[in-house]
Structure 1
Amino acid sequence: MPAETDSPHLSAPATPGTPGAPLFSSLRVDSLSNDRNILPNCGKCLPVHSLISAHSCITDFPRPNVSLTRKLGAEFVGTFILIFGATAAPIVNQKYNGAETLIGNAACAGLAVMIVILSTGHISGAHLNPSLTIAFAVLRHFPWVQVPAYVAAQVAGSICASFALKGIFHPFLSGGVTVPSVSTAQAFFLEFVITFNLLFVVTAVATDTRAVGELAGIAVGATVMLNILIAGSSTGGSMNPVRTLGPAVAAGNYKQIWIYLVAPTTGAIAGAGAYTAVKLKDEGDAVTPRRSFRRG
């Protein structure tokens, strides 16, 4: 018979389930969120696994407290970086006779999304897109009261980036404006579908604890790149009203701009709703709210 000892048997907690409460009432929680919920908390620190003490603060970190001002600042800067990178590529492509190519345009946009999510996701959630913000609010993943401020920060970041590009690359800004080269119906449904794809992926990595939230930036950046490879030659592959609005204001070209305001927003709501409908659920689904690429 094996000898009995007084020391308790340590075992890792079971794999967390998928919470189903809202995403991007107050904070977004990544794939570590359920572990944090089930671990004890001393009230001053984020709970983490510790072999020293269940309530030890030695290995814990201060609970984040991000003001709305900081969130809006991160959204402004993040959107500026995104629009500058995603718009500069086609402008350079126009100025230097196709030097970037469609693959280069797609890579610039995808990389811009990835680095902004990785650098500001823990601050504001890295929405960068009014369609995404509205879709999360519709599905109760994000508070409606903050939607106008987020959208205003995103629009301001886009317009500032676009005028910066106009000053740098004038007179080649028209290369960065997204205008359809196909029929209105084709452009609308193409933008709808690629934004649906984007928000399906975003909702997965941002709200589902079974998804690998730590790789959210890579997953979303790759989706943006894929979508632009598909739609870049037809519509510019916007997926984002401010991707179109900022360059349109700077260049004074508003051709069929309504497509890029309506199609991405409806596609985003449909994509986020589709993932919310199909994701796995368990009995803990009504406990933890979510919020895009932020840790709770």
Structure 2
Amino acid sequence: MSTTTSSERRQTLLRAADEFLLATVLVFLAVTVVRWLRDPASPLYIADLRRALTAIGTISGAVLTGLILSPPGRRSGGHTNPAVTVGLWLMDAFPGRRVLPYVIAQLAGSLIGTALARLTWGDVVSLPSVAYAAIRPAPAWRPDSVFLAETAGMFALTLLIGLFVARPRLMRLMPYAIGAAVALVIAVFGPLSGGSVNPARQLGPALLSDRTTDLAIYLLAPILGAALGAAVHHLLVRRIQPYGQPA
């Protein structure tokens, strides 16, 4: 039994290491994309915020799909997001013993990915126009509205993930659906609430840019959205499951 436990711990650490790598790459590329598209001195600069966020969302969705399909993503599940990890656990699709190692790895990857972007691109990522790609809401948006939007965004994303959890035959389509959904969230909610729905996406950029005023919202609201989405998922599965068959 001790051998089995040791093997499980080793597998958990290996998969958490995969998540660390995925989160590091995700945040590094997020900062890199914003560095090139939002720095006025860049040849790729997009002045209009909505157009810029549409482009950022499209690229981010493609990057996320690629990370999920990559070898580390296939091994770990390609969560890259603490809220996704929590949501899958609450949907009984992920072992509880791996939740904390995954979340720690994802948040650590956020910090390292941001730091690597600074080392790679230099002072330009600290300029106000880039600000380490830290997400912030529109000036007119109150904290309660931002919290509601971030919760709702992750709630919808969790229900989408639950669709694939309940129908394994569709699982091969999930990376593309998740990438498209994240791209849509960024394009639609980016100019308003910021469109994060991922605590790991915001932690490193917010800390290094010292834009921590709304950080608690971006860390906690997606977790709440995932929990609510998982609860509704269970209700829906029970309603559509034929009598006598396990959910």
TM over 0.5: yes
Distance 2:230 2:205 in 1: 27
Distance 1:84 1:198 in 2: 23
* One-letter code aligned to 1:278: L
Matched, 1:137 2:89: yes
Matched-pair contact (CA < 8 Å) for 1:203–1:272: yes
* One-letter code aligned to 1:152: I
Partner of 2:125: 172
1:241 to 199, 213, 218: 199
The structure whose residues are more often helix, as a share, is 2
Partner of 1:117: 68
Higher relative contact order (CA 8 A, sep 6+): 1
Q: CA deviation at 1:121?
A: 3.7
Distance 2:54 2:217 in 1: 24
* One-letter code aligned to 1:257: L
Matched-pair contact (CA < 8 Å) for 2:150–2:221: yes
Matched, 1:257 2:215: yes
Q: CA deviation at 1:88?
A: 2.5
Distance 1:228 1:211 in 2: 28
1:105 to 38, 49, 56: 56
Distance 2:193 2:28 in 1: 18
In terms of Rg, which structure is larger? 1
Q: 1:91 to 1:235 in 2, by over 3 A?
A: farther
* One-letter code aligned to 1:179: R
Partner of 1:224: 182
Partner of 1:196: 155
Distance 2:169 2:73 in 1: 16
What residue ranges of structure 2 are gaps of 5+ in the alignment?
1-9
Q: 1:228 to 1:187 in 2, by over 3 A?
A: same
Matched, 1:82 2:5: no
Task: String of CA shifts for 1:60-88, please: whole Å, max 9, x gaps.
Answer: xxxxxx82232112111111122222332
Aligned length, in residue pairs:
220
- Aligned to 1:235, the other structure's residue is in SS state coil
Matched-pair contact (CA < 8 Å) for 2:150–2:197: yes
* One-letter code aligned to 1:128: T
Q: CA deviation at 1:175?
A: 5.2
Matched-pair contact (CA < 8 Å) for 1:179–1:255: no
Q: CA deviation at 1:152?
A: 1.0
Q: CA deviation at 1:176?
A: 0.3
Residue identity (%): 28
* One-letter code aligned to 1:73: A
- Aligned to 1:171, the other structure's residue is in SS state helix
Matched, 1:161 2:113: yes
Distance 1:203 1:222 in 2: 16
Matched-pair contact (CA < 8 Å) for 2:90–2:230: no
Q: CA RMSD in A?
A: 2.0
Q: CA deviation at 1:123?
A: 0.6
Q: 1:81 to 1:175 in 2, by over 3 A?
A: closer
* One-letter code aligned to 1:112: V
> TM-score of the superposition, structure 1-length normalised?
0.69
* One-letter code aligned to 1:159: L
Distance 1:72 1:157 in 2: 10
What residue ranges of structure 1 are gaps of 5+ in the alignment?
1-65, 287-296
Task: String of CA shifts for 1:14-51, please: whole Å, max 9, x gaps.
Answer: xxxxxxxxxxxxxxxxxxxxxxxxxxxxxxxxxxxxxx
* One-letter code aligned to 2:92: R
Task: String of CA shifts for 1:94-136, please: whole Å, max 9, x gaps.
Answer: 2134267121110121112101111134311111111121222
Q: 1:210 to 1:134 in 2, by over 3 A?
A: closer
Partner of 1:49: none
